[in-house]
Chains A and B, each alone.
Chain A
């Protein structure tokens, strides 16, 4: 039986939010190809991540330990994976297509001179090859690709499979693996961290109030910020806004910024170019405020107000405040 290795991404023992969804995708793939799924957890904090992976279908959990594996580093992680894949005779190595997942798997591909196919949505066998659908243009286009290689290296598009435990837990046998590493593998390791904020992050906020070209200036973002504060949400913006210097790039939603999936996305003065749309298309509900009824954001939204955001946004804030005051007085 072929063995598929799945790299479980974590940061010093804290599992990545996309890791279990990716593992679920890897398990479904392994099941469909009659392969055995093994989880791989690398470095410091690995043991605290390993517990529970049996529920997600790991027949074996490889704890990769080495004195040099003190933090994340693409070379050290990739070298460990390559050695483990060789020792275990793996037929595929899989990760989630996060920043780190793609980086490590590209390093695995570079070390083995094997092809690596990033951000796959669906995979099916075709003889010894795999045929896959993968993401292009951040999700606004898809590619049918063929992978022909003795060991398949792929990443799965983040959030393409929802995390779900296996019907029956797998054996989950824990096995330690110590790779051979030296100083050359740790050149690219994280050496320091700087914490800027621990508050609501754009990527995980339940509401995102986002402004585009229609906001008109850096100062006019005050009304966007006020509404976001009232809703306990995060402020977002389109690429035009960061290119004009109205907002720092960390607020940008889209293909080259942050990908968000809030309960409600409020797009104020955003026309909805494809590069922006792919950054928020997974929002559960979309409200567009725009003067142009034909803007793509308006036609794709759940609700729209065809009006000037400079009037509508403060009116929403005022209405929320009015109702809260009433509720407080009557309560």
Chain B
């Protein structure tokens, strides 16, 4: 199966997010970067399907030139080829992002003379959380898409996709080619092997210039939410605190 995974480079924040002075971005000077978590699982899922059935797992990203780092990390865990759409524009809105991705997918499929059977996205990006780029891409390509997927079974020229509900699963069945929005938990991504790291260092990165466009949505500024400001009460420093804890549980009507 020929699979394409679209990923996004995002900061890996710790316990507190600090903004740049102009409030246009996260201050990332002290932060590492990673592939957005749902997409990390999408890469793993593509690699597993290809290991099982053969084919290829291409990983593509639209982002700063430094996003090459995330593409190489995808190679280190099994991606067969990678494509970078480099841009110095920090924040692409969802409509512009999807247009650039559609153009790149069309070009890749033309170059290779074949469609991707499956295009995978993360359910939503960790940072901007627009919940729509994959759906816009799928619609423009004329392929069906479901999101929130935590299980994919390949069945010849179709797939069964499962979405978790509070009581179990909902099942969708899509003919290929199709697009799926994957959620973390669909698998447990592997760590790179030494061999994988070596391959990642040598892997060629195909680049294509994305064309910027605009839509009706624009970012004005970022803000940190008001601090809840809790004044913590320390109940104790050992198991003898159990009585005080159960007193609280009783006062809340929980015991």
Contact = CB atoms under 8 A, between A and B. Distances in A.
Interface of A: 72, 74-75, 97, 99, 102-103, 105-107, 109-111, 113-119, 131, 133, 135-149, 155, 187-198, 201, 203-204, 206-207, 231, 239, 242-243, 245, 248-250, 252, 255-257, 263-264, 271-275, 277, 281, 285-288, 293, 296, 298-307, 311-312, 314-316, 318-320, 323-324
B21 interface: no
Interface string B140-171: 10001111101000000000001111111111
A316 B243 CA distance: 7
16 contacts: A105-B132, A110-B132, A110-B139, A140-B17, A144-B222, A145-B219, A206-B254, A231-B255, A256-B37, A256-B183, A281-B228, A299-B232, A304-B232, A304-B234, A305-B237, A307-B241
B242 A316 contact: yes
Given A116-B132, A143-B222, A307-B238, A203 B166 contact: yes
The 9 closest A-B pairs by CB, nearest first: A249-B185, A106-B132, A110-B139, A315-B239, A115-B216, A102-B131, A149-B216, A315-B242, A115-B217
A103 B147 contact: yes
Given A144-B223, A318-B242, 12 more contacts: A103-B131, A109-B95, A110-B140, A115-B217, A139-B225, A142-B223, A187-B144, A263-B254, A264-B252, A303-B234, A304-B234, A306-B236
Interface of B is mostly: mixed
Given A102-B132, A144-B221, A302 B230 contact: yes
Given A194-B171, A304-B232, A304-B234, A116 B94 contact: yes
B184 interface: yes
Interface of A is mostly: mixed
Instruction: Report the interface size class on chain B.
Output: 35 or more
Given A106-B132, A113-B95, A198-B167, A187 B174 contact: yes
A144 B167 contact: no
B233 A303 contact: yes
A166 to B, nearest CB: 28
A113 B96 CA distance: 11
B94 to A, nearest CB: 7
Contacts of A109: 95, 132, 135-136
B52 interface: no
Contacts of A264: 249, 252, 254
Contacts, number: 271
B25 to A, nearest CB: 10
Nearest to A152: B216
Contacts of A194: 162, 168-169, 171
Interface stretch (B8-16, B74-82, B200-208): B8-16
Contact of A97 (B17, B128, B131, B228): B131
A270 to B, nearest CB: 11
Given A97-B131, A188-B144, A137 B167 contact: no
A145 B94 CA distance: 13
A147 B93 CA distance: 11
Contacts of A286: 230
A318 B224 CA distance: 41
B127 interface: yes
B249 A231 contact: yes
Nearest to B184: A256
Nearest to A190: B170
A274 B168 contact: no
Contacts of B173: 191
Interface in B120-137: 124, 126-132, 135-136
B252 A312 contact: no
A136 B172 contact: no
A136 B26 CA distance: 11
Contacts of B254: 206-207, 231, 263-264
B38 interface: yes
B215 interface: yes
Contacts of A252: 184-185
Contact of B136 (A110, A314, A316): A110
B218 interface: yes
Contacts of B218: 145-146, 148
Contacts of A188: 144-146, 172, 174
Given A196-B167, A198-B167, A273 B15 contact: yes
